[in-house]
Amino acid sequence: MDQTEKPSFFITTPIYYVNAAPHLGTAYCTMLCDVQARYRRASGYDVKFLTGMDEHGQKVAEAAEAHGMTPQEWCDSQAPLFKGLWEQLEVSNDDFIRTTEPRQTRAVQRLWERMRDSGYLYKGSYDGWYCVPEETYFTENQVRKSDEERGAEGQHLCPDCGRPLERVQEESYFFKLSAFQDRLLALYDEHPDFVQPSFRMNEVRSFVEGGLQDLSVSRTSFDWGIKVPFDEKHVTYVWFDALLNYATAVGFADEAPEAKAEYARRWPAQCHVVGKDIIRFHCVIWPAMLMAIGEPLPEHVFAHGFLTVRNSETGQAEKMSKSRGNVIAPADVVERLGVEGYRYYFMTDVTHGEDSAISFERMDQVYNADLANSWGNLVSRALNMSAKYFDGKVPELQEGWAARENPLREIALGIEGRYAEKMEALDYAAAKDVVMELVHAANHYVEDSAPWTVAKDPARAGELVDIIVNLLESIRICAHLFAPIMPETSAEVLRRMGLAGEAETEDLAAACEWGGLAGGVEVTKGDALFPRLATKK
């Protein structure tokens, strides 16, 4: 089908600050989007999956200085780390935006002009607090709340992350965010699923109900940013720049006819996936910016929780972050579980709306129980039996086999619908449960039907064919359903069953219908897909 005839599905990750190498937390967020992008491609959507790097602002400028580089040199040196990791983790992004690219400069400058024309911009001066690690302004009131928690030297500390704040006094342009309170509340009323999961909506709503302050959107005390086109001593506040990336990447402010067509087709985005720490930027500031310039609003913002690790001294779960020095490098998990085991653990064992404590012990447990002992074992048993009893092949299919009742067929009927509902809500743990139900049932079916006994009796040859065919058919369906999470091993399973051509389906519902197996084709036994891990590594 021509791509443009399919419905568009535009999904984005936050763009990551280039102050440090990517870690498990950033990889987690990117993977959440990747699984959705793969699922949507398989379900017939024309997907655009965007990720990238947030390269401006004080934090990045300071990181560059600490490494003795110019900010641009520093960002250029970091880009391969991000791109390389996404490639290694099988992230299938279609675009990678960097905010230092000309397309972003052009878009941000156009935003300034449109903001000025909208009447929601004015010049003033900012006098208040600023958290550099979070690139966020705080008012005197917000800071006062944390007075009692002043740092050792009596510094003011960030009410969000607890790190010391800077006092900023500078000339600045302001965006009249305060004018959007009613319209934002109306948006939340009319689109209760704008923010997901739903409990996050309450948090956003009460923040807006509490009243909105105008937002300082330009800075004059340093220069690492996009210049305001009509007042060049100002550079754009990094969030005002960064949020626009989503629209830039689909052609905002690009006058070329193809870009205009792309923008009309792709904007608004269907889903911005973000961490819960940046929900206000995405659910308050970003929609208000779009309202101000008269552009459509994104359909959904999905906020995930943090990956946490247990602090061995205090016993408390802490957010994994570079500044706390408690990050686990993705490479350590890849080495332990392989890329597909890594993806499976983070996508199915972590609850996506909440904070989740992760541990190597749990990773090993999930890998061994689900992948080595259940899914991997099922595949190898079924392929081995097929090869052994049917001369290296899938048995020839018997008349009417697909309509014959059996316990696996019963579970498989309608399985894609049950799974799709969970996938669309980004509830990958529940989607996995739908698939694992069939995997577990198939493992029991092997035991219950005892094909090794049936094989000894020539009078039961037809029965043996059906047992093996039912198993292989279940495996074929599970491989399709696991593919968004574990693309390589699913493709490998299909290849071993002589179905390599099926792996890139664009009609998952049809692919998962009971009865799609090909009979008589060669089977490849191959090595274990998920070799069992020793309990401690």
Residue 314 CB partners (closer than 8 Å, separation 6+): none
C-beta nearest to ligand MSP: residue? 275
* Least distance in angstroms from the C-beta of 87 to ligand MSP: 19
3-state secondary structure string, 252-272? CCCCCHHHHHHHHHHCCCCEE
* Least distance in angstroms from the C-beta of 357 to ligand MSP: 11
Nearest to 523 by CA among 397, 396, 392: 392
Q: Does 14 bind ligand MSP (CB under 6 A)?
A: yes
Q: Which two tokens stand for residue 486?
A: 């574990």
Q: Does 306 bind ligand MSP (CB under 6 A)?
A: yes
* Least distance in angstroms from the C-beta of 205 to ligand MSP: 20
Span of 77-85, 214-222, 318-326, 375-383 interacting with ligand MSP by CB under 6 A: 318-326
* Least distance in angstroms from the C-beta of 30 to ligand MSP: 9
Q: Does 472 bind ligand MSP (CB under 6 A)?
A: no
Kind and range of the H or E element at 98?
A: strand 95-98
Nearest to 360 by CA among 384, 382, 379, 335: 335
Q: Which two tokens stand for residue 118?
A: 């909208």
CB 482 within 8 A of CB 347: no
Q: Which is nearer to ligand MSP, 242 or 465 (CB)?
A: 242
Nearest to 44 by CA among 9, 11, 91, 13: 9
Q: Which is nearer to ligand MSP, 28 or 188 (CB)?
A: 28
Nearest to 81 by CA among 32, 19, 133, 35: 19
Q: Which is nearer to ligand MSP, 80 or 414 (CB)?
A: 80
Q: Which two tokens stand for residue 360?
A: 């190597």
Q: Which is nearer to ligand MSP, 26 or 218 (CB)?
A: 26
Residue 396 CB partners (closer than 8 Å, separation 6+): 465, 519, 520
Q: Does 16 bind ligand MSP (CB under 6 A)?
A: yes
* Least distance in angstroms from the C-beta of 52 to ligand MSP: 9
CB 268 within 8 A of CB 252: no
Tell me if residue 321 falls in helix, strand or coil: coil
Euclidean distance between CA atoms 64 and 279, whole angstroms: 27
Subset of residues 41 to 60 that bind ligand MSP, contact rule: CB under 6 A: 54
Q: Does 240 bind ligand MSP (CB under 6 A)?
A: no
Span of 9-17, 175-183, 335-343, 396-404 interacting with ligand MSP by CB under 6 A: 9-17
Q: Does 298 bind ligand MSP (CB under 6 A)?
A: no
Span of 31-39, 227-235, 274-282, 422-430 interacting with ligand MSP by CB under 6 A: 274-282
Q: Does 278 bind ligand MSP (CB under 6 A)?
A: yes
List the alpha helices (DSSP H) in 404-514.
407-412, 415-424, 428-449, 451-454, 461-482, 487-496, 508-511
Which one of residues 8, 9, 11, 15 is an interface residue with ligand MSP (CB under 6 A)? 15
Q: Does 99 bind ligand MSP (CB under 6 A)?
A: no
Span of 41-49, 197-205, 314-322, 496-504 interacting with ligand MSP by CB under 6 A: 314-322
Q: Which is nearer to ligand MSP, 59 or 480 (CB)?
A: 59
Q: Which is nearer to ligand MSP, 272 or 480 (CB)?
A: 272
Which one of residues 136, 321, 348, 386 is an interface residue with ligand MSP (CB under 6 A)? 321
Q: What is the DSSP secondary structure assignment for residue 44, as one 8-state letter?
A: T
Span of 175-183, 201-209, 239-247, 382-390 interacting with ligand MSP by CB under 6 A: 239-247
Q: What residues pair up with 380 in beta bridges, in sequence order?
A: none
CB 271 within 8 A of CB 11: yes
Q: What residues pair up with 48 in beta bridges, in sequence order?
A: 10
Q: Which two tokens stand for residue 89?
A: 């983790």
Q: Which is nearer to ligand MSP, 38 or 59 (CB)?
A: 59
The size of the interface with ligand MSP (CB under 6 A), counted in residues, is: 21
Euclidean distance between CA atoms 10 and 3, whole angstroms: 13
Q: Does 243 bind ligand MSP (CB under 6 A)?
A: yes
Order of strands across the sheet that contains 218-219: 218-219, 231-236, 227-228
Owner of token pair 């996995």:
432
Q: Does 287 bind ligand MSP (CB under 6 A)?
A: no
Round to the nearest angstrom and report the end-to-end CA distance of the chain.
48
> In terms of residues, how long is the chain?
537
Q: Does 90 bind ligand MSP (CB under 6 A)?
A: no
Q: Which is nearer to ligand MSP, 75 or 475 (CB)?
A: 75
Letters for 20-39 (x = contact with ligand MSP by CB under 6 A, - = none) are: -----xx-xx----------
Interaction site with ligand MSP (CB under 6 A): 14-17, 25-26, 28-29, 54, 242-243, 245, 274-275, 277-278, 306-307, 319-321
